[in-house]
Amino acid sequence: MKKYESVIIGHITKDFNIDHEDNTVEICGGAVLFSSASAFASGHKVAAVTKVNKNDLDRISEFNLPKEDIYVNECENSSTMRNKYFTADKERRDSTCLSVGTPFSLEDIPDDIEGEIYHFAGLVYGDFPDNMIKKCSEKGAVAVDVQACLRHVDRESGKMYFEDWAEKKEMLPYITFLKTDAAEAEILTGTSDRAEAAKILHSWGAKEILITHNSEVLVFDGENIYTCPIKARNLSGRTGRGDTTFAAYITERLKNDIPSSLLYATATVSLKMETPGKFCGSRADVEEYIKTFY
Among the listed ranges 19-23, 45-49, 92-96, 247-251, which one has the minimum average pLDDT value?
A: 92-96
pLDDT score for 284: 97
pTM comes to: 0.94
The span from the CA of 202 to the CA of 197, in Å, is 9
Question: How do residues 92-123 score in pLDDT, each as one tens digit?
Answer: 778 889 999 999 999 999 999 999 999 999 99
- Residue 76 has a CB neighbour count (10 Å cut-off) of 9
Say which CATH number the domain at 102 has.
Answer: 3.40.1190.20
What total number of domains does the chain contain?
Answer: 1
Q: Is 136 exposed, middle or buried (0-12, 13-18, 19+ CB in 10 A)?
A: buried
Residue-number span of the structural domain to which 51 is assigned: 2-293
How many beta carbons lie within 10 A of that of residue 264, not counting itself?
Answer: 23
The yes-or-no verdict on residue 90 having pLDDT over 80 is no
When pLDDT is cut at 50, 70 and 90, the band that residue 59 belongs to is very high
Q: What is the DSSP letter of 282?
A: -
Least confident of 14-28, 110-124, 201-215: 14-28
Of residues 154, 109, 155, the one with CA closest to residue 128:
109
Q: Are 143 and 4 in contact (CB under 8 A)?
A: no
pLDDT in tens, 148-206: 999 999 988 999 999 999 999 999 999 999 999 999 999 999 999 999 999 999 999 99
The values of phi and psi at residue 61, to 5°, are: -65, -15
